[in-house]
Chain A
Amino acid sequence: MKIVVTVKLVPDTSADKRIDPATKRLVRGGVETVLNPFDEYAIEAALQLKEKLGEGTTVTIFTMAPETGKEIVRKALAMGADDAVMLSDPALVGSDIWGTSYAMAAALKKIGFDLIITGTQSTDSISGDVPGMLAEYLGVPGLTYLRKLDVEGGKIRGQRETDTGYQTVSAATPALVSVTKSINEPRYPSLKGIMGAKKKTIVVMPLAELGLTRSVGTDGAKTELTDLATPPVRGKGQVVNAADGTDGARIIVEFLKEKKLL
């Protein structure tokens, strides 16, 4: 079984990022690029399937990112994936959700797969729309928000999270699944894994190889950034010491009444 895990490179989630008021762009200096934390669960899910299914199952990492992201892709390889493909092309810069999904789907078709595993969303754009669009463009079933995943005899079965519990869903491969953080605890790369990853192949795929009929990037995008604003900074509010429980409750109730929230 050929498993492809899609990953995204995002600005470090734990860094307190800021926007340059003049350029209205993210100040990249000092903010590290990392693997989207949600994608680590997808990688782990793929590696667990590979361990379970054994011989003949491979895990390929796929990302659409500039070539400078190679070292981050290597972290995914260090976790235990076999190889990686990067769709890298200056013409992709400025792609929106549509363009990203359209180009990624074409690349995934070219790579070939039995199962695609994605995270549920990225920590920078947080749209959560790419898995569904990929499934549709690839014409395969999209089983999303899985907290449990099993593959048996060409069939995927999983538990899809809902607000009140879960649904057991199933479909035949080839398919796409997205997995939530409830599904596993991602492993840390071992020293052996890190050393081994240096020898693994990362193929860089240019856009021209895909033979797309529609333009992507800024020109082809179906949404266009027209304004970028910085939200008002939340100021420091009141800090009040409560003598006891009753006093604390009184302070809050008075405050809520003042705000007309009670």
Chain B
Amino acid sequence: MNDVIAFIEHTAGTPRRVSLEGATKAKDLATKLGGKAHAVVVGGGASAAAEILKGYPVDKIHVLDDAALDGFLIDPAVDALESVARAAGPALILVPNTMTGRDVGSRLAARLDAGMNADATDILVNGTTVACVSPKLGGLTITTCAFKNSDYGIVAIRPNVFAAQAQAGAGEIVAIAPSGKTYAIVVEETINEAAAELGVEEASVVVSGGRGLGGPEPFKTILKDLADELGGAVGASRAAVDAGWIGHGHQVGQTGKTISPNLYIAVGISGAIQHKVGMRTASTIVAINKDGGVPIADFADLLVVGDAFAIVPELTRAVRSAKA
């Protein structure tokens, strides 16, 4: 493996941050492997995304700008990546560890008979060998897995772990030839129910609520306000999601998302093992709970015992004035 290819997930021409993290990492790895760094961007707005990618250190930006492709799920991106990968020869391919990234990466892995490393938090190069570090069993153990027996390796990178560094590279734009195929999975409509917001996987600060909040309202008010003030996202425990107080996409934990933000603020969350495994790799954990004897006391960096409904709004105000 010499070349490194980053799949760029984007919304109408705006790359997801994790894709810029992937593009930056691709160049770093390509330098170590003695190859080139490529970015592949497909769909409506791909050319606009390519312009943004020129500000990142990739050598080649492969573009297939065709809004009609947005009418099909996953397959157009897999075809485009496959064509770039086959032309590049043995290569490492980075996809975001997001729903779309995993779909694209896994399908490509089958196409290329490639090894697959999921949810990587580090990628190591030793000579010509590439290995990926991933937490498994909910962060209980950290595995390092090297690629072997394969010309291609696919890595799904965990958002928010690798740095995205704006630094212009060669940024040569290359057009990808359309496959001309009709695809099997039709996207009939796309509905946005909520304003586009940073997901818990990508946010560097996550403010989560649990059973202790007693209902859906605090998630939309006091937690949201604090998260907004910190430039973060709102998360939730399973209890809150199962009670229907907030959507499943916000769930952190064993049957939700596993995240590594810089700061995790747990409000009214006891910190049962199912929750702990989803957030214990956060850099700093702050908890607010009315009970000092909850399990989270054993692994939070700071547990403030008190009334969350009184503390959280005050905290939002205090953060605002601290920043001013």
Contact = CB atoms under 8 A, between A and B. Distances in A.
A joins B in a complex: yes
Interface of A: 11, 13-19, 24, 26, 37-38, 96-98, 101, 123-133, 135-137, 140-145, 157, 160-172, 180-182, 220-231, 234-253, 255-257, 259, 261-262
B318 interface: yes
B299 to A, nearest CB: 4
B167 interface: no
Given A223-B145, A241-B292, A252-B315, A143 B73 contact: yes
Nearest to B144: A227
A236 B310 contact: no
B186 A169 contact: yes
A252 B286 contact: yes
Interface string B145-161: 11111100100100000
B306 A252 contact: no
A119 to B, nearest CB: 10
B139 interface: yes
Say which size band chain B's interface belongs to. 35 or more
B111 A136 contact: yes
A229 B142 contact: yes
B41 interface: no
Contacts of B305: 239-242
A220 to B, nearest CB: 7
Interface string B269-310: 000011000001100111010001000011111111111011
A84 B307 CA distance: 51
Contact of A126 (B107, B118, B144, B285): B118
Q: Is the interface of B mostly helix, strand, loop or mixed?
A: mixed
The 5 closest A-B pairs by CB, nearest first: A245-B310, A222-B115, A132-B106, A242-B306, A127-B118
A182 B248 contact: yes
A231 B187 contact: no
B48 interface: no
Given A136-B106, A163-B249, A170-B188, A237 B148 contact: no
A2 to B, nearest CB: 19
Contacts of B194: 164-165
Given A168-B189, A228-B142, A249 B318 contact: yes
B311 A248 contact: yes
Contacts of B195: 164
A165 B191 contact: yes
A167 B191 contact: yes
B143 interface: yes
21 contacts: A15-B273, A17-B140, A98-B114, A98-B115, A130-B106, A133-B107, A136-B110, A136-B111, A144-B74, A169-B186, A181-B248, A223-B116, A223-B145, A231-B280, A238-B302, A239-B297, A241-B304, A242-B306, A242-B307, A249-B311, A255-B286
Given A97-B109, A141-B185, A252-B286, A125 B149 contact: no
Contact of B254 (A123, A125, A145, A180): A123
B113 interface: yes
Contacts of A239: 292, 297, 303, 305
Contacts of B248: 161, 180-182
B136 A245 contact: no
B139 to A, nearest CB: 6
Given A166-B193, A181-B248, A253-B318, A129 B106 contact: yes
A132 B315 contact: no
A85 B3 CA distance: 42
A248 B306 contact: yes
B137 interface: yes
Contact of A132 (B103, B113, B192): B103
Nearest to B238: A181
Contacts of A16: 273
Interface in B214-241: none
B116 A129 contact: yes
B123 interface: no
A74 B162 CA distance: 43
B306 A142 contact: no
A248 B110 contact: no
